[in-house]
Amino acid sequence: MLRRTSLITFVAGVVGLIAIACAVRLSLDPNHYHFYEAADRAAWVYRPGLVALVCLMILVEAALVWGVFVSPQPIFWLRCVIGLGLLGPWALLSTSVFLHAPGYVLFHHLWVWSLVMVLALAALVSAGRHAWWRLHRRKSGAKRQTP
């Protein structure tokens, strides 16, 4: 169990750091910002505070999904549903503005909806497996623990 948790922690950390690096990379390129006129592009000023806020959001979202995957709660689909209950409304709220948003904000939108899809898929697969196991156990009359 410790080895699986370590692997999940490593993968979540690497993916989260890659996502943050992509957001920072997109934020540094003026071509990923919307300007009405060419003169506006010349007057562009980099705002690291907004980029840091988006990177913090990416970090917190990755930590939430990591927590879902390594939590000791035995029913995995239930953990995924709880994670979706937290991340789903946040995704709706944080992605409501997208018109003329900088590239790093659009990347965050892609990131958060990807996490929502990962949790939804994991919940569906886990719930299906759990239901299949319960049905099979009921048919066979076996008295064994949930896998």
Q: What is the predicted pLDDT for the residue at 53?
A: 95
Q: What is the predicted pLDDT for the residue at 68?
A: 93
On whether residue 116 sits in a domain, the answer given is yes
User: Token digits for 76?
Assistant: 């995995």
Q: What is the predicted pLDDT for the residue at 111?
A: 96
Q: Per-residue confidence of the chain (147 residues) as pLDDT tens digits?
A: 567 778 888 998 999 999 999 999 999 988 888 888 888 888 888 889 999 999 999 999 999 999 999 988 889 999 999 999 999 999 999 998 878 889 999 999 999 999 999 999 999 999 999 888 888 877 776 555 555
User: Token digits for 53?
Assistant: 């806020």
Q: What is the predicted pLDDT for the residue at 81?
A: 95
Q: What is the predicted pLDDT for the residue at 92?
A: 95
Q: Using alpha carbons, select from 112, 82, 80 the residue that is nearest to residue 96.
A: 112
Quote the number of domains for the chain: 1
On whether residue 147 sits in a domain, the answer given is no
The boundaries of the domain holding residue 98 are 2-140
pTM of this structure = 0.84
On whether residue 107 sits in a domain, the answer given is yes
| Alpha carbons 122 and 103: distance in angstroms, whole number | 28
On whether residue 146 sits in a domain, the answer given is no
3-state secondary structure of 94: helix
